[in-house]
Amino acid sequence: MMTNLPLRQLIERAYDVKPTQVSGPDWLDSVRVDIAAKYPPDTKEGDHPLMLRALLEDRFKLAVHTETRQLPGYALVVAKSGFKLKPVKGEDNDTEHHGGRVHTLVAKGTTMASLADLLSRFMKAIVIDKTGMGGAYHFDLRWTADESNAERTQDVPALPEALQETLGLRLEAQKIPVDVVVVDHMERAPIEN
């Protein structure tokens, strides 16, 4: 069951991309749909995006192509103060995020590539790992959602400062080559069952 989802979000799920990686008409954000479908028995998790893609092609006549574009983004790099984490054994890659005025990210066995992927959501831009730090790490990261100094909550820093103070990392703005799903055609309303 998918309820009240914008068409853009369905495309993101079908092609396993981030919001900045979908290019199409503005109405992809405003047109919302409900989908009720059942996966066949023994369907693998990895097949779900392909099945959603087929549904969008069939019911919405979705036609796309992909192209590489240079988009504004960030490189996650080691700060001048130095990297502050020690590697741990294994890669659990388990993260727990709590939002609100103060965000908390608790990571266990997380790689820098996974952290960069998570940061893409919070920064609403592509973030790539250029730390050169292999392995997995445990860490707790806290930052305020409001970056204005007047609205800081109990001296909790904004995300860029929290990354530097807690992890010894920083975000460096740069153009990033990104594969983008370009919508060539899509109907606003689905074809009936």
pLDDT digits (tens, 9 = 90+) for 86-108: 999 866 778 899 988 899 999 99
The mean pLDDT of 18-42, rounded to a whole number, is 91
Looking at the structure, tell me whether residues 162 and 94 fall in a common domain: yes
Percent with pLDDT over 70 in the chain: 94
Residue 139's pLDDT is 95
Contacts of 149 (CB under 8 A, 6+ apart): none
Looking at the structure, tell me whether residues 75 and 169 fall in a common domain: yes
Whether this model's pTM surpasses 0.85: no
Looking at the structure, tell me whether residues 50 and 104 fall in a common domain: no
Looking from the CA of 98 toward its CB, the CA atoms found within 13 Å total: 6
Looking at the structure, tell me whether residues 109 and 173 fall in a common domain: yes
Locus of tokens 């983008």: 180
Within-domain flag for 191: no
Number of domains in the chain: 2
- 108 lies in which domain range? 70-177
Judge contact between 189 and 30, C-beta under 8 A: no
pLDDT tens digits, one per residue of 156-169: 999 999 999 999 99
Angle of helix 7-15 versus helix 48-59 axis, rounded to 10: 140
The mean pLDDT of 20-44, rounded to a whole number, is 92
Within-domain flag for 37: yes
